[in-house]
Amino acid sequence: MGQGASGLKALKRTDPTASWQICDQLGSGSYGTVNKVIARTDGEVAAAKLINLQTKEELNTFAEELKVLTSRRHMNITNFVDGFLRSKDLWIIIELCEAGSFADVMDTMGRPLTDREIQCVAFQALEGLDFLHTNCVIHRDIKAANIMLSDHGLAKLGDFGVSAVLRSKQQRRSSFIGSPNWMAPEVAACETDRTRSYNFKADIWSLGATVIELAQNKAPFNDMHALKVLMCVTSGTVPTLDEPQAHSPDMIKFLSFALTVDASARPDAATLQRHAFCNGQTDRHLLARLASDKLEADHKARQAIQRKQSERIQKLRQSFSDLC
């Protein structure tokens, strides 16, 4: 199983439903579903990725993710809580961020984030990236959908499904992997040139692209086909804000550093944390308010759906009564 085998050792071979009660479905994908779960012992709430494995090779694809989750803990990543492997059923249980991802936040609120909100997200994301990079992990898929928001105002890096664990900080990777709109040029180049490679600086570019996404509520190169996006990125086209004048000069300068085409000249996470755009943005209250607003909007949306369902049932009952 290679490097990821150590992560599999953390999995229990007992029945997960004896320890955790499955509640609402939070999402789904080709791998399976993500559900809210509650611990039967103390009522702890968490998120469980539920996977029905078809082959042993499928288990190996989750081994690297498990290695990252089970061997490292930090306040700005979604930490491992529990895990189970029983027959073909794999459960990966992590911290639940009730407000969802920042992509969810923007979708629900119907607006991009403010510059101050983005400052807080960027600072905390850099905290998480600095921790990962120091521990020889490249995330490889940083974007708003993979940065979660806790109700306490913490931004947490999540979804380590395509992360890479390096043997040392000097090691590089050459796999073409990630999401094109947020992909660093050196990663995109690996699709056609096997001599190219990259290191943890690729995550810094992706964070810069994410800042643009948060500022505009849309991904960079949003109006382009994925193939054209890759061509643009590989050729060194730098994503930009549609209306740079609407944002702070510090944000513009921050983006110019994060989106440096030459990876060797691109700052690392620790350096960018000291940039004026992020420096001192440790106050969680702003993001806690954002989380509260998002959760309230979710609650109102659920109430509206329930009202419509109730009205529909009432009309059906009335129609049935009229027929009688």
Q: Where in the chain are the domains?
A: 2-95, 102-286
Residue 159 CB contacts under 8 Å (≥ 6 apart), including other chains: 141, 145, 146
Contacts of 223 (CB under 8 A, 6+ apart): none
Greater pLDDT, 3 or 85 = 85
Choose from 85-89, 165-169, 256-260 the range with maximum mean pLDDT: 256-260
Angstrom distances, CA of residue 280 to CA of 137, 251, 273 = 25, 14, 9
pLDDT at residue 318, rounded to an integer: 76
Closest CA to 72 of 134, 16, 143, 152: 134
Annotation marks residue 242 as catalytic: no
pLDDT band at 324 (very low <50, low <70, confident <90, very high): low
Q: Using an 8 Å Cβ cutoff, are 50 and 32 in contact?
A: yes
Would you state the pLDDT for residue 181? 96
Counting beta carbons within 10 angstroms of the beta carbon of residue 246, is it exposed (0 to 12), middle (13 to 18) or buried (19 or more)? Answer: exposed
Local confidence band at 105 (pLDDT 50, 70, 90 cut-offs): very high
* Rounded distance between C-alpha atoms, residue 57 and residue 184, angstroms: 28
Mean pLDDT, all residues of the chain: 91
Region 57-73: mean pLDDT is: 85
Q: Is 2 a residue whose pLDDT tops 50?
A: no
Residue 49 annotated in ligand binding: yes
Phi, psi dihedrals of residue 225, rounded to the nearest 5°? -70, 150
CATH of domain 102-286: 1.10.510.10
Whether 1 has a pLDDT exceeding 60, the answer reads no
Q: Which fold has domain 2-95?
A: Phosphorylase Kinase; domain 1 (3.30.200)
Please, which residues bridge with residue 157 across strands?
77, 147
Cβ–Cβ < 8 Å for 35, 22: yes
pLDDT 10s digits, 197-229: 999 999 999 999 999 999 999 999 999 998 999
Lowest mean pLDDT among 10-19, 88-97, 185-194, 302-311: 302-311
What is the rounded distance in angstroms from the CA atom of residue 160 to the CA atom of residue 263? 22
Closest CA to 139 of 219, 193, 198, 59: 198
Given a contact cutoff of 8 angstroms between Cβ atoms, the answer to whether 129 and 207 are in contact is: yes
Catalytic one among 82, 130, 141, 159?
Answer: 141
- CB atoms < 10 A from the CB of 13, how many? 8
Residue 9 has pLDDT above 90, yes or no: no
Q: What is the pLDDT of residue 5?
A: 57
pLDDT band at 280 (very low <50, low <70, confident <90, very high): low
Structure confidence at residue 101 (pLDDT): 96
* Residue 259 predicted with pLDDT over 50: yes
**Closest to 45 in 3D by CA, of 9, 87, 94, 10:** 94
Q: Three-state DSSP class for 150? A: coil
Tell me the pLDDT tens digit for each residue of 137-180.
999 999 999 999 999 999 999 999 899 989 888 899 999 999 99
Answer yes or no: same fold for 2-95 and 102-286.
Answer: no
Q: Helices in 182-275 by DSSP H: which ranges? A: 185-188, 201-216, 226-234, 249-258, 269-273
Is it the case that residue 40 has pLDDT exceeding 50?
yes
Give dist(CA 176, CA 278) in Å, integer. Answer: 30
pLDDT of residue 63: 85
Percent of the chain with pLDDT over 70: 96
Q: State how far the Cα of 123 lies from the Cα of 37, in Å rounded to an integer.
A: 30
The residue type of 106 is: M
pTM: 0.90
**pLDDT given for residue 285 in this prediction:** 92
**What pLDDT score was predicted for residue 302?**
81
